[in-house]
Amino acid sequence: MLKYKREFIGEFLGTFMMVMFGCGSVAVSVLFNAHQGLFQIATIWGMGVSLAIYAARHLSCAHLNPAVTLAMVTSQRMTIKKMPVYLIGQFLGAFSAGMMVYALFNPSIVAFENAHHMVRGTQESIAIAKMFGEYYQLPNSTAIVSMPLAMIAEGFGTFCLVLIIFCLTESCNLGRPDDNIAPILIGLAVTSIICLIAPLTQAGLNPARDFSPRMVAWIFGWKQASFPDQVGGFFWVYILAPLLGGMSAGFLFTHLIEPLMRNKCEKCDCQ
């Protein structure tokens, strides 16, 4: 751990910032009706991602997501020796952010529960618990989402995100943006994907972002209501599916898109 202290601090700091701003935006929406639509929350998530990358990328590679880290390792862009440090930093950063969100808003949460005669841990309390972990089956939702569909949505959303990250940052793509602009475009990609996927699954796209804040909710009294179902959906939908989606994107880019980019002729018909 000490050998990769800088990388750990980078992933911890970046993930903390991202989750704090993102989960905080959901919290103020739930508790104070501060945001009037999905796009506003998605935009704040995207801004949080961009700011977190800017803050952390000189310390680590600013993955901030186990799915991104796994994709980088399996595509041989990062040594597997660093992987545990990155993952620990991400999960601890997300947990600390969840704790900070709870500390900031707990008095308001209690007031909300009292005003709505809500008992923490019941099915109705998911209305608050969703500010920590995601759900693909929300009470009173009009969306009909099965676990397989939720897995496809989360896997596809993470696939798109990781593929965009590779395209925006790899040197083989001569059309990539300047390194100083890429974090903004990655944040916009997160915003766009959330707008597409969130009505189905709340758009986790990140196992650390889902699991660690969900544990905060579990610790502070939501218990079984912290989880989307009783059949392990939090694992299949919000951990496994994003990891598979990220690895698939890394495999596609490495074995198909990257060779095509490197072998591209100098002259192009579109010039």
Tens of pLDDT, residues 176-221:
999 999 999 999 999 999 999 999 999 999 999 999 999 999 999 9
Say whether pLDDT at 119 is over 80.
yes
Say whether pLDDT at 115 is over 60.
yes
Confidence (pTM): 0.94
Handedness of CA 158, 103, 26, 44 (dihedral sign): negative
Can you identify the CATH homologous superfamily of domain 5-266? Glycerol uptake facilitator protein. (1.20.1080.10)
Q: What is the pLDDT of residue 74?
A: 97
Which range (50-64, 130-144, 221-235) has the least confidence?
130-144
Say whether pLDDT at 264 is over 80.
no
152-157: average pLDDT: 98
Q: What is the pLDDT of residue 266?
A: 52
Q: What is the pLDDT of residue 3?
A: 81
Q: What is the pLDDT of residue 271?
A: 45
Domain residue spans of the chain: 5-266
